[in-house]
Amino acid sequence: MSTYRVVGESTHGSVVVPTGFSVHALGCVRSLGPKGIHTIVAADQKHTPAARSRYRGEVRHVPSPYEDLTAYKDALLSLAARRDVQTVIPNQEEDTYVLSKYSDEFERHVSVGWPSFESLKVVQDGYALAMAAAEAGVPVPKTQLLTDVDDWNRELIVKQRYAILTSEYVDFLAPSECEGGGQKPVYLPTNVEPDVDELIDAMLGQVPIVQECVTGEEYSFRALYEDGEAVATSLRRQVRGDTYAGGASVFRELTHDPRVEALGERLLDHLDWHGLATVQFMKDRETGEFKLLEINPRIWASVMLDIRGGADYPYNYWLMTAGESDRIESGYAVGTASHLAHGELDYLISVLRDDFPNVERPSFPTALAAVLASIYRHPNFDLVSIDDPVPFLWSVVNRLLSSR
């Protein structure tokens, strides 16, 4: 395969791929580069994996959205204004936010592949999303604002309300300010009233939501929508998260279940969606009912799983924004599975160190045996690639340096 390291502008449709230090963008360049599509990695960190891939086109430095959100938007807009650029792929919450909020500025230059701002505000607000799901007839755990809860005699989980904090969502930030999500959920012991102020501080000053805890298997309905209609979908079942209580997916497989797929489509239809989304559900271990967890309005971290299984979302996104949705191929290989290598390590560390009051901890020998057996059966990894090894090596180095 060719190595794409073009400096300057392409004469074909280029794609801007924003990225922090994440694997989302790496999946995009590994999908698009071998197809001859020029990628412009817009990186706010020096050693992001996508910038080290042999398949990326060029790398452009941009400001961090967490240092100046307005400057970050202007940097993306400057790249979008290049005559060779066809579109921008959102890889992070802040990408979708600036593309959607300032869509009128971006659509002067590129094809729009992201949702309306009204739809996005619902999705990035966990409380508003629960209300929208109820309106659409999609089951959701009972959801309240922390300050409204008066019954603590239940198994409850506290989650950040907003996916990211901006002036649109909270009144203590300026338009140029952005604070990240990513605060881990807090599992509350039954019948113990927590310190409300302490929880609000832990969630960066936002009043979080509280949901009744649902245990079971997590499913993720992936979709690419065009003007309210699905043009590509797939379904992922999470086998392991980065903690023994769940969390970010580290071992997962593509599957098929018409019940959860119908719920995912019903909700995205209700939101009149446009662009990429993952709709996450939990299959209740007791009842078998699927209940909504959240929606991520962007490329997801495990997109390499879908690409490996034949659902190539970065390429499908490129086709859609090029006006060629009729070329998008439906279908994928059920049973395809993949791992996040360092995530499996995080899972094992969680088994040793974490204590979640509402979730039973597996024994370490059992957990280790399960990890090794799954790697033997499915030796596929998101970062590890024989023909593109440098991104994984850089991620290992950076992980070691950050842990010092």
pLDDT confidence of residue 400: 60
**pLDDT averaged over consecutive 10-residue blocks of the chain (404 residues)?**
34 83 87 96 87 93 96 98 96 96 98 98 98 98 96 94 96 93 85 94 93 93 98 96 86 96 98 98 94 96 94 97 94 93 89 86 94 92 84 70 56
C-alpha span between 134 and 148 (Å, rounded): 19
pLDDT confidence of residue 386: 83
At 160, list the tokens: 């950040």
C-alpha span between 118 and 101 (Å, rounded): 9
Q: What is the pLDDT of residues 18-36, one digit of tens each?
A: 997 778 899 999 999 999 9
C-alpha span between 324 and 315 (Å, rounded): 11
pLDDT confidence of residue 385: 82
Question: Tokens 């009729």 appear where?
Answer: 326
Domains of the chain: 14-114 (3.40.50.720), 142-212 (no CATH), 216-402 (3.30.470.20)
Q: At what angle do helices 313-321 and 24-32 cross, to 10 degrees?
A: 70
C-alpha span between 356 and 18 (Å, rounded): 35
pLDDT confidence of residue 399: 63
Q: Any alpha helices (H) in 203-340, and if so which ranges?
A: 258-270, 303-308, 313-321
Q: pTM of this prediction?
A: 0.90
Beta strands 85-88; 14-19: pairing state: parallel
Q: Using alpha carbons, select from 274, 186, 168, 280 the residue that is nearest to residue 231.
A: 274
C-alpha span between 70 and 230 (Å, rounded): 32
C-alpha span between 253 and 251 (Å, rounded): 7
Beta strands 216-226; 143-145: pairing state: unpaired
> Within a 10 A sphere around the Cβ of 335, how many other Cβ atoms?
11
